[in-house]
Amino acid sequence: MTAELKILNAGALNAVAVNAVAVAAICVSVLCAGDAAAQTPANAAVGDGKIHPYHVQGNVWLMAGEPDGINVTIQVGSDGVVVVDTGVQSMAAQLLERINDTAMSQAGFRAEQKPVHIIVDTDARPDHVSGNQIIREGGSTLMAGNAAFDQSFNPGAPVWANENVQAHMLMPDASGKPSVPTVLWPTQLRYEDLYSITYNGEPVQLYHPHRAITDGSTMVMFRGSNVLVTGDILSMISYPTIDVKAGGSIDGELVALNRILELAVAGPYEEGGTMIVPGRGHLCDQADAVQYRNMITAIRDRIQFYKNQGKTLAQVLALKPSADTDARWGATSGPWTTTQFIEAVYATLPAKGAMFSMRTDVIVPADAKVAGPSREVF
Amino acid sequence: MRQSFFISSVLVGGLVCAEIWISASAQQSPQQIPDAQQAADAQQPTAAQQLGQRLGAQVHSTEGYGGNFVDGFWNPVYHEDSLERGTGPDQGDYAGLPITPEERLHAQIHDPEIMDIPEYQCRPHPSIYGMRGAGGLVRIWQDLDPVTQQQTKIELRLRWQQQHRVIWMEEHEHPPPWAAHTWQGYSVGHWVGDVLEVHTDMLKASYIRRNGLDTDDKATADERFFRYGNYMVHIMMVTDPGVLTEPLIKSNNFVLYPNATMSPYPCQALTEIPRAEGAVPMHLPSQIKAGLEWAIRNHVPIEASYGGAQTMLPAYQDYMKTLPPNPPLSSIEKLTADNESKK
């Protein structure tokens, strides 16, 4: 075999090899398309600037990677995509891309991309709604009738929120303009305490707790997937961010936390079962929510105890009623500090009150020795 | 025929000689093995070393090929800290623990009645406490790759609340930071000689003692498993910067329990004490002093009962002698009675 022929043969072989590798790569990529969206790199870290889709269970995915541990949740299926909270604006484009990738990967063999059809805002906070415009415009409204023929008209995906969310967004800033741009406003307002639909083959229920961290909070329960999205009512990184000016209160927050415990059903030996997506931080279950509820209740009761003694806010702060849990949940700087939390609790407790319970009017037998509330102030 | 008989005889004879030589060597070995001093002088292996070399394939392990010496049923031996591990520690007993002052406050606020809320009744022990607590029998087994026979996992099952734990022995992707935490956490292990070393994180908030000393979900643990004959020693080192000023190190002993059977442990939560929904049992600030009863009854200076790293040191006993006497128990009992009436 001459040298030229060897080279030609080598080149041919190389070409064949390259083509074979390319074909193999395409085959691998197609075969792995269903897993691409699900693969979280081993070195994925909080704050790496990337959105990481993470399968929670059923139809529900967590889009992790927003700053400050903010959680965006999506439900995917043949009807389309439901997005709960849209994160920050700077990551919205990447978020939309990851949402579409995830929806595509779960669409089956004859993939037809299903767009975002519903957006739910759990409250009016900037890091929950700042991506509304981009995600909304990247989605679509299911059109019918005459409007379906006008392809130029599509308002994008509807944005659902409690009516008080828009009320908060309407509040003027220093310049007199609405504090939140209109492009981020919800497009459909909910008034009900409970609103239910069936979407992607499962019941989806929106709960509105009264005066929790705000008066416009919403939790979303995906019943078939057994996933509860709580917004900032539950957080795995800080004490609850109770916004008193926006109608939040400590007892409303505790009612909402207890509601979470009612809605969530633990798996065997208090692990798993209903998965809970908190507003911030890692995924959790009922057992984690119980710990959080117990901690917040203890702090609240201690502050009420001090307030019953007539102590001022400054005196209560000096007593450090949350000292035993500040190392994990408190902060001395940043957007939400321990001091701000104590102030919010103190401000929303009565001057004289009892230990917390869901029922304020409990009849306790005279000879019963039970723990719990008393009509008498302690 | 003569030739074949001769060949057969030679072969048989050779085999017989070999067997005689081997048995002779074995018989000679116990008599001819030098004692430790002579062996050291002569640089010859001792009897123990020879035994170890013969058993090397069974007990010793090399990287990636873990031994099976932790396999089996293991019964806890409560020779250490039996009261704490069995019946449980009293509230107020924090001596000898490297806890922060805030953790002590947290424990003082703890009301044991919280243990009967429905959400706590079927909680298993976390992995940082399971081997220590009154969990009963432990079954340990290994999983091997069917092709390479390499150890992929070591699994543990503790009887109480059916705690099931997995220790990954092969390369395995760590869950991302946003994954849910579990009671047993995420454990990876490897062999260092005959010692199994394990690191665990992704734990739920749980506890290091059953009297209110809780950990948060940032806790991690490092463990060592040693085997001495039919005994296993387990060392647990818990790290939690928000709760502990330095790692909490505890040892637990187990004895091999051949032919054991493990009974199931079903659990169903019930409402044992009627309580208003949402009410959380706890001690209020005025009730904290009631927790001093343990220190007073056991003549332990109250300051010492508060714990802290310094209380772990033998020299602390000298310091204790300088502490003021405890108040009378009657003063604490009256406070306790007053507080109970307020509940």
Structure tokens at A23: 């074909």
Whether the predicted pLDDT of A126 surpasses 70: yes
Are B342 and A378 contacting, i.e. CB atoms less than 8 angstroms apart?
Answer: yes
Mind telling me how many Å the CA of B102 is from chain A's nearest CA? 5
Helices (H), chain B: 2-32, 36-42, 47-59, 82-85, 101-109, 118-121, 127-130, 293-297, 302-305, 316-320, 329-341
Which of helix, strand or coil describes residue B3? helix
Residue B273 is predicted with a pLDDT of 86
CA-based nearest residue to A262, from A293, A299, A296, A225:
A293
Chain pair A-B, CB pairs under 8 angstroms: 155
Please tell me the predicted confidence (pLDDT) of residue B56.
Answer: 41
The token pair that represents A6 in the structure block: 């060897």
Q: A363 touching B, CB under 8 A?
A: no
Predicted confidence at residue A17, as pLDDT, reads 42
User: Mean per-residue pLDDT for A195-205?
Assistant: 96
Q: What are phi and psi of B324, to 5 degrees?
A: -70, 160
Task: Report CB contact under 8 Å: A301, B280.
Answer: yes
Q: Which of residues 35-54 of A touch B (CB under 8 A)?
A: 40, 42, 44-46, 52, 54
What integer is the mean pLDDT of A285-299?
97
CB distance from A293 to chain B under 8 Å? yes
* Number of helices and strands in chain B (H, E): 11, 9
Sheet (strand A81-84) strand order: A52-57, A60-64, A72-75, A81-84, A116-120, A159-162, A188-190
* A66/B contact by beta carbon, under 8 A: no
Check if A10 contacts B (Cβ < 8 Å): no
- pLDDT surpassing 50 at residue B233: yes
User: Residue A31 and residue A367: Cα distance in Å, rounded?
Assistant: 69
Q: Please indicate whether residue A239 or residue B56 has the higher confidence score (pLDDT).
A: A239
Could you read off the pLDDT of A297-334 as tens digits, one per residue? 999 999 999 999 999 999 999 999 999 999 999 999 99
Instruction: Answer yes or no: is pLDDT of B239 > 90.
Output: yes
What are the pLDDT digits (tens) for A202-212? 999 999 999 99
Instruction: Give the whole-angstrom CA distance, residue B205 versus residue B126.
Output: 9
Alpha-carbon radius of gyration of chain A: 25
Higher pLDDT, A356 or B286: A356
Interface with B, mutate which of A236, A257, A271 (most B CBs under 10 A): A271
Which residues lie closer than 8 Å to B151 by C-beta, 6 or more apart?
A: B64, B65, B66, B142, B143, B144, B145, B169, B170
Res. A370: pLDDT tops 80: no
pLDDT of residue A64: 96
d(CA A300, CA A303): 5
Q: Helices (H), strands (E): how many in chain A?
A: 11, 12
Distance of alpha carbon A257 from alpha carbon A230, whole angstroms: 9
Higher pLDDT, A100 or A178: A100
Residue window 177-236, chain A: list those with CB within 8 Å of chain B: 236
Q: Helix, strand, coil % (nearest 5) of chain A?
A: 35, 20, 45
Which pTM does this prediction carry?
0.82
pLDDT at residue A19 is higher than 50: no
Q: What share of chain A in percent tops pLDDT 70?
A: 78
pLDDT at A26 over 50: no
Separation of CA B335 from chain center: 38
Place of tokens 């019943």: A223
d(CA A128, CA A88): 7
Per-residue pLDDT at A150: 58
Is A325 in Cβ contact with B106 (below 8 Å)? yes
Task: Return the residue matching tokens 């994160």.
Answer: A87
Does residue B26 register a pLDDT over 90?
Answer: no
Cβ atoms within 10 Å, residue A223: 16
Give the residue with greater pLDDT, B98 vs B57.
B98
Complex confidence, ipTM: 0.82
Percent of chain B at pLDDT exceeding 90: 57
Q: What pLDDT was estimated at residue A375? A: 36
What are B117-156's pLDDT values in tens digits? 999 999 999 999 999 887 778 999 999 999 999 999 999 9
